[in-house]
Amino acid sequence: MKVTVLYGKRVARLELPSSTSLTELAEGLAERFSLPDPAALKFKLQEGQPSLRVRDYPEATLESAGFTSGCKLRMSVSKHAAAAAADGGQHEQPAAAAAQQQKQQQQQGAPAAPATAGDAKFIKGQQVLYRTREGTWQEAKVVDVDYSILPFSYGIEIDGHYRETEATRLAPLPEAEAAAA
């Protein structure tokens, strides 16, 4: 069975037996893309089916999961695993530390967390706020949009670098909202 796996801007074209389990697929891809936890991977068919988390279906095979030869899968990492990898496995910040961090950002002139984060649909060329792994907000520009999957996928340019992200990590700029009203 031929399968194309998309992970951000990376592509893996594989030829596997239909009896390959999701766990085996995840382990191979985690090694190939240097990901920490294969069980935290999720696969989604481009046609809009729900994501299949490897952790929830460890014994499922490609065939039993409904994947067919020639299909394209979008692979992602569960939010909890991504957060744990980003902070070196440490637990999330306590509320007091998060409040202190937000206060420091405001004093330094960094944008504060908007109330509508993740609620909007963005267009190419739009200036937005992007939530970093550290929880800070930075200005970015939407340069690519993919509405074919949920949550929507956006390519943004931040500090001259391209990055792919989901709508849940983006928010409209407060100035843009005020101008639109």
Per-residue pLDDT at 142:
93
**Confidence (pLDDT) at 116:** 46
- CA 51 to chain CA centroid, Å, is 13
- Looking at the predicted structure, is the pLDDT value of residue 72 above 60? yes
pLDDT interval class at 79 (50, 70, 90): low
- How many other CB atoms are found less than 10 A from the CB of residue 84? 18
pLDDT at 103: 57
How high does pLDDT run on average in the chain?
72
pTM over 0.75: no
pLDDT of residue 101: 56
Report long-range pairs for 101-104 (Cβ below 8 Å, ≥24 apart): 101/135, 101/136
| Cβ 40 vs Cβ 24: under 8 Å | no
Domains of the chain by start residue, with CATH: 2-83 (3.10.20.90), 116-181 (2.30.30.140)
**Average pLDDT score over residue span 69-96:** 56
Sign of the torsion angle spanned by Cα atoms 105, 108, 114, 118: negative
For residue range 132-146, list pLDDT tens digits in order: 888 888 999 999 988
pLDDT of residue 147: 74
